[in-house]
């Protein structure tokens, strides 16, 4: 289908592939703009199902289900990356798909993603493809040790990755990781991790939220600081990189661009995600239009206001049973703005919700102030050694 720039009218139906929390929060944003949401998922217990106008429960690759879904909606978007681009191509025969199957195809495969980003001159961590065991030696010779082996496809929250510190462990890591091919990356000694949410409209309008800092705990995003406590020029360069990536992808919708800031002040792109992103959840309380609102606007062809921020913010993820045990405490804490995803089972490592804490604009406190504001939630967020370098 050719891309129409006509804005969807209130009452139009937005189809979302995937039923997770990103779909749930997108659906709520869509409802605020007067749209109805039709969720396509395989699991009736998914978080987005509870807030959807209509639901298709079917395998993601069922041509019949995809076809009738496409006929029932005015536009399709997706909230997770483990659907096939072929499914999106099938949907695109009937209605606009935003972002496109091409964007998904490239970004869901680390090898294709890195090849594409390198081809447009985006700085990346050093990497080497590992399609067969024989590539391990060349990867080690090129990148040195330690290195990280990652599956090219299907990884998330640090799953599908092994850190290799010793040559003897290379083969084991290769055998343990599936599916192949893999990509080997040199370990970046980063000062901190940053990300930018970039939104691009059907007419090419491009908007960026402020650059934020992300801290991980055991491979899972733990907290986001907005704005990132880095030099203004670094934050601006990160936004420029994100915009270049979105333009090159001809993106329509939102994309999270994850980066490393190294100790020389250089930015290296880690990966991109063409959907709302956990590191953009702070916008739900600190911005007039949050990431979900901006995403839905882009997908529906509505005007995109500047992605402004009226407060500084810290976003703290609620992960697994340990964090959910703090729920009663969170509810009692002034200033903690809770968001739960409606997942029944708090399995270890599962993202159950998040809490936003706001500060006056320009008044994001230093490390101790942040910990203090997090109260009971501060337990596992001890400052990494590198924080002093960037505070």
Ligand X SMILES: Nc1ncnc2c1ncn2[C@@H]1O[C@H](COP(=O)(O)OP(=O)(O)OP(=O)(O)O)[C@@H](O)[C@H]1O
Q: Which does 157 bind (CB under 5 to 8 A by kind): ligand X, Mg ion, none?
A: ligand X
Site string for ligand X, 225-264 (x = CB under 6 A): ---------------------------------x------
Cα–Cα distance, 243 to 90 (Å, whole number): 28
Residue 188 is a binding residue for ligand X (CB under 6 A): yes
CA distance 131 to 117: 19
Question: E strand or H helix at 323, and its extent?
Answer: helix 320-324
Torsion angle of alpha carbons 28, 275, 148, 137, nearest 10°?
150
Q: Residue 92 and residue 100: Cα distance in Å, rounded? A: 8
How far is 41 from 275, CA to CA, in rounded Å?
A: 16
Cα separation, 83 vs 24, in Å, equals 17
Considering the complex, state which of residue 270 and residue 381 has its C-beta at the smaller distance from ligand X. 270
Binder among 148, 164, 225, 267 for ligand X (CB under 6 A) = 148
Q: Where are the alpha helices (DSSP H) in 228-282?
A: 232-249
Question: In this complex, which beta carbon is closest to Mg ion, that of residue 15 or of residue 276?
Answer: 276
- Candidate ranges 43-51, 213-221, 230-238, 369-377; the one touching ligand X (CB under 6 A): 213-221
> Cis before residue 146, ω within 30 degrees of 0?
yes
186 is in an annotated binding site: yes
Subset of 265-304 contacting ligand X (CB under 6 A): 270-271
- Binding residues for Mg ion, per CB under 5 A? 258
Give the one entry of ligand X, Mg ion, none that residue 188 binds, where binding means its C-beta sits below a cut-off of 5 to 8 angstroms depending on kind.
ligand X
Contact between residue 126 and residue 119 where contact means Cβ atoms under 8 Å apart: no
Q: CB 83 → ligand X: shortest distance, Å?
A: 16
In the complex, what is the shortest distance from the CB of residue 250 to ligand X, in angstroms, rounded to a whole number? 23
Closest separation in Å from C-beta 302 to Mg ion: 29
342 binds ligand X (CB under 6 A): no
Nearer to Mg ion, 217 or 327 (CB): 217
Smallest Cα–Cα separation from 287: which of 207, 349, 377? 207
User: For residues 109 and 81, what is the distance between their CA atoms, to the nearest angstrom?
Assistant: 10
Binding-site annotation, residues for ATP: 110, 150, 155-161, 185-188, 193, 216, 270-271
| Interface ranges with ligand X (CB under 6 A) | 125, 148, 155-159, 185, 187-188, 193, 216, 219, 221, 258, 270-271
């Amino acid at each position: 289908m050719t891309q129409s720039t006509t804005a969807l009218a209130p009452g139009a139906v937005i189809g979302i592939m995937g039923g997770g929390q990103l779909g749930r929060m997108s659906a709520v944003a869509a409802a605020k703009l007067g749209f109805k949401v039709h969720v396509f998922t395989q699991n009736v217990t998914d978080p987005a199902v509870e807030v959807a106008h209509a639901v298709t429960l079917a395998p993601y690759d069922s041509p019949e289900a995809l076809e009738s879904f496409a006929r029932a909606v005015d536009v399709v978007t997706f909230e997770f990356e483990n659907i096939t681009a072929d499914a999106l191509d099938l949907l695109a025969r009937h209605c606009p798909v935003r972002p496109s199957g091409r964007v998904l195809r490239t970004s869901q495969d680390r090898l294709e993603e890195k090849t594409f980003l390198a081809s447009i001159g985006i700085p990346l961590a050093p990497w080497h493809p590992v399609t067969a065991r024989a590539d391990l030696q060349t990867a080690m010779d090129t990148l040195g040790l330690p290195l990280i082996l990652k599956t090219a496809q299907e990884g998330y929250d640090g799953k599908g990755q092994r850190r290799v510190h010793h040559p003897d462990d290379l083969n084991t890591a290769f055998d343990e990781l599936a599916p192949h091919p893999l990509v080997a990356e040199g370990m970046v000694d980063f000062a901190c991790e940053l990300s930018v949410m970039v939104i691009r409209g059907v007419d090419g309008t491009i908007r960026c939220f402020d650059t934020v800092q992300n801290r991980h705990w055991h491979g899972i995003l733990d907290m986001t600081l907005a704005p990132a406590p880095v030099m203004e020029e670094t934050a601006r360069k990160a936004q420029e990189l994100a915009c270049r990536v979105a333009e090159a992808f001809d993106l329509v919708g939102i994309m999270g661009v994850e980066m490393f800031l190294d100790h020389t002040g250089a930015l290296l792109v880690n990966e991109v995600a063409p959907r709302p992103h956990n590191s953009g959840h702070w916008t739900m309380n600190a911005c007039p239009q949050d990431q979900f609102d901006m995403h839905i606007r882009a997908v529906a062809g509505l005007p995109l206001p500047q992605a402004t921020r009226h407060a500084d913010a810290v976003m703290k993820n609620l992960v697994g049973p340990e964090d959910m045990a703090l729920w009663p405490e969170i509810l009692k804490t002034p200033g903690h703005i809770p968001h739960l995803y409606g997942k029944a089972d708090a399995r270890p490592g599962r993202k159950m919700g998040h809490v936003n804490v706001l500060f006056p604009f320009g008044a994001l406190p230093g490390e101790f102030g942040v910990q203090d504001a997090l109260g009971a939630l501060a337990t596992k967020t001890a400052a990494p050694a590198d924080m002093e370098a960037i505070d």
